[in-house]
Chain A
């Protein structure tokens, strides 16, 4: 017999001495009983608080809104699982903070804002697929930022925990919402907010508006954001588009067409300083190419419409250096509250209301009046003229706000110097 076989057989046969089995029973019983008590308690706590609105046992959706930030994808997934959604708003935090789902322009109360901070096309496609499968979708509005096409931008941590993550089997997903650190932490945050006066009427439908008070340091916040965008490889430090994200947008467009779901593509407002960052970072050509490609894709789909086929995709562009996007940042200690901007990256929901009015043709007051000149509806016919106009707007902005334009350039040069010094050190 092979020595290994002999050893295996001997090890197996002589494993237990008389009475040994009995002596292990108290350990096994204690271990199992304690485990059941501990896990049962944790699960009961999280089911009772229900921080993700998974079991509808806890409090109203609004109470969770702020508690959700770190696990927003989990929470939004649960809301989408339970509630009916006819109009779906997709996009980044700009959409999440700027597009109010209760705006009458959407034409239905069953509108859900699936805007997600730091998202990308990969995530948004999965959210779209999930919604399409579970909701009676009639209209999809995609707020597109060029950042969503940066291939360095991977999925966020809470996406992996969410129902949108199709590699996670349901038992893993469901047990994660009751037996995980993030579930316990989310429950704790909900309890912290119990004293806040929030009613069911405030259910936010995924909308996360933000207000800033007088004395807010707009400039400091904006500089921090711009610097982050310039140095973060998930943004423009450097921007990288390997082409893979375009197939995802194409799938969205083609699926909407196949299912007869209205599709509106919106390039939401970008502050002039945010736009200037694209210019000084050398990404302007890529930005223009990005817009051309979107319009090209939309035109190609619309061209496929034959007689009787009313489906079409509409593209709106609100990015420019001019108009409300060129609102001057308050100086240090000025104390002025900006009308349309939270900082250079996010517009206010009031500005968002006007954008929605322009896109849908219906203002919040029901007047149907929309601000003329706000945004441009893009087609293959006007894209080049529009891009030319944006260049003119940019030149005018630099003339009118030279100090701020210089500030953006300086920030970019600082970021570049820092990168160069690192690369030189590394390269010897």
Chain B
């Protein structure tokens, strides 16, 4: 089920919410948790229940595995062996469903054979719940003797707001909350904050991202079939997709965080205005933050991080970003996307070492450098997204060439250029100058373990505070207008960009 669907908004959510609190009140917390688990499974299986057994099996097997790994009566070596097997099995399952076609096609392709698709269906959200469970079993090895109730574990993995496209929650963030009081009290404060965040996220997704999506879709679609875009279309395609993917995924994350909050649960922040970043490493600390955190903890640091020498450190960065690229999709374009970001990070590290600003640097130079760095980071990310969005390298190359005026003279797709430019420009202004949803909701601790680093606009020496949402009825008016606008536009419902991962 999609958050941006009539069924979810008008049926599933009200029933799941009311049922949860009714169960808590009538039959106790355990019944409430069972209800929430069942609701999450309905959510997961709504489109195609065929993969429900896989999800349930994965939860069951990983839970038993984690119990065995965390059993202190076992030898350290035995526990380690189990942990390694667990990780390999999870990665193997992910690889089987997601990468079999890719590997076979690539291998046979190099040998000159063509291959029909195997027809393996990728289970919804497998990338997300696999990573969460890998973290759980690895941590069970690191910190033995901390077994959790099965119900809490199953709910942690399947909790519907975060199940299909993240944020990638760490078990230590969600499971302790199930043991607390907060989720079991139907509080108006949680409902109001959750509703406001959900509506803002829905608006970002449905009204902004889906409106913009039609332009890059047409341009990249044509490029994928060999039709080169004009220079204008190439820029619209690249910048349009940058805005689309940001508003799409950050909107999804806002909705997920808002939905969890309606149930009294707090999820970690996943997007912290990444397009305002002034460097690629800062960008990845703000973009899909929970994925970056996972990769750092379970890939980069285990490889040795930056403690193993400069050259190895650079290699570790590149390997980590390669994993990130492959995680995003089974295609060489995603591999190239990850590799490019690895190179970006290495270049940035070298640059920063060489051209570090000293304390004596004048303010104007700092300001200029900051603006320049932000623009460069934005453009570097936008360039990389051409690889992310293109269905093949030939299509990506046509768009790259188009950017530099080497495209076609005739438009390759019917795109109203002025309208597209206005939408993309408006989205860019919002992304660069406005507070994000969490900053807007900052007075009500909208995300777990997060305090805003920016709360004001700076105009020279003047400071103007960001607007802040308050739970008064006047704020309900624009939010309902945004909700109505969004719902009326659900007819062009498009799946989330990250849904496929």
Contacts and interface: CB of A to CB of B under 8 A. Distances in A.
Contacts of B406: 425-426, 428
Contacts of A213: none
Given A13-B181, A39-B487, A176-B6, A5 B172 contact: yes
Interface of B: 5-7, 10-11, 46-47, 143, 170, 172-174, 176-177, 180-183, 187-193, 195, 225-228, 264-266, 398, 401, 406-410, 412, 445, 448-449, 471-473, 475-477, 479-480, 483-484, 487-492
A169 B2 CA distance: 12
The 8 A-B pairs with the shortest beta carbon distances in the complex, nearest first, are: A426-B228, A175-B6, A180-B491, A30-B473, A24-B188, A422-B408, A27-B471, A30-B476
A169 B10 CA distance: 14
Interface string A6-24: 0111011101100011111
Interface in A152-211: 152, 157, 161, 167, 169, 171-172, 175-176, 179-184
A428 B404 CA distance: 12
Interface in A32-59: 34-35, 38-39, 42
Contact of B449 (A4, A16, A181): A4
B6 A172 contact: yes
A159 B5 CA distance: 17
Contact of B407 (A22, A152, A171, A425): A425
A175 B227 contact: no
Most chain A CB atoms below 10 A, which of B7, B183, B188, B449: B188
A303 interface: no
A26 interface: yes
B173 A422 contact: no
A24 B6 contact: no
A310 B266 CA distance: 68
Contact of B7 (A28, A31, A169, A426): A169
Given A24-B189, A171-B7, A171-B10, 14 more contacts: A11-B448, A16-B187, A24-B193, A26-B472, A28-B188, A157-B492, A169-B46, A175-B6, A176-B490, A180-B489, A184-B488, A418-B410, A425-B228, A426-B398
B187 A21 contact: yes
Contacts of B6: 171-172, 175-176, 179
Given A7-B449, A12-B180, A13-B180, A35 B483 contact: yes
A16 B182 CA distance: 9
A9 B473 contact: no
A422 B491 contact: no
A167 B473 contact: no
24 contacts: A4-B173, A8-B266, A12-B180, A12-B183, A13-B181, A23-B189, A28-B192, A28-B195, A30-B476, A30-B477, A31-B192, A31-B476, A34-B477, A34-B480, A35-B480, A35-B484, A161-B491, A167-B47, A171-B10, A172-B6, A175-B10, A180-B491, A422-B408, A426-B407
A12 B408 contact: no
A34 B484 CA distance: 10
Contact of A4 (B172, B265, B471): B172
Contacts of A12: 176-177, 180-183, 264-266
Contacts of B264: 12, 15
A65 B483 CA distance: 32
A425 B7 contact: no
Nearest to A422: B408
A39 B193 CA distance: 21
